[in-house]
Amino acid sequence: MSFLKGRFQSQNETTFKPQLTSLVDVMTILLVFLIKSFTAEGNLVTPAEDLILPLSNSELPAKPSFSIEITRNAIISEGLTVVQIDSIRQSDSLLIAPLFNLMKVQYSRVRSSGTTPEVLIQCDKENEFSIVKQVMFTCSKAGFSEFSVLVMQEE
């Protein structure tokens, strides 16, 4: 009887026991797949709080670079107010002296790091083009030759 007793117990133990190595392989493959398919595209550039950006159907993502915000009241760079818009409107010159001084310092930093000098301009959609033209002229006189304009993508 003892022989039959062992025989019945082995038939009842039919639970599946997967190999640990196989499970680790499957989990590794899944992990690699998820990491490769994950993209972090979100907003790399945050517009200033009091800006309403113009709409566009451009699909190119914004690249992080030196940023200038042209709000309705002031020109801001790195969170600091550079110059008030009213003083720019009263000036006949295309060159904005306080912005030029800041851009020269920034240009020397960018050139010493070996990267391409590029400016990202964020402008409120209600500002006139003459202000944007003055900012671009000032940046080009400071040595920046590549400009990007931040816009909101149309849905």
pLDDT for res 134: 92
Separation CA 126–CA 73 (nearest Å): 11
pLDDT digits (tens, 9 = 90+) for 132-153: 899 999 999 998 888 887 766 5
Instruction: Report d(CA 65, CA 110) in Å as an integer.
Output: 10
What pLDDT score was predicted for residue 144?
87
Question: What is the SS3 assignment for 70?
Answer: strand
- Do 120 and 67 contact (CB within 8 A), yes or no? yes
Q: Given this model, what pLDDT does residue 138 score? A: 92
Predicted confidence (pLDDT) at residue 37 exceeds the cutoff of 70: yes
Task: Tell me the HSE value of 104 on the side-chain side, using a 13 A CA sphere.
Answer: 8
Per-residue model confidence (pLDDT) at position 44: 56
Q: What is the rounded CA–CA span in Å between residue 61 and residue 35?
A: 21
Given a cut of 90, is residue 100 above it in pLDDT?
A: yes
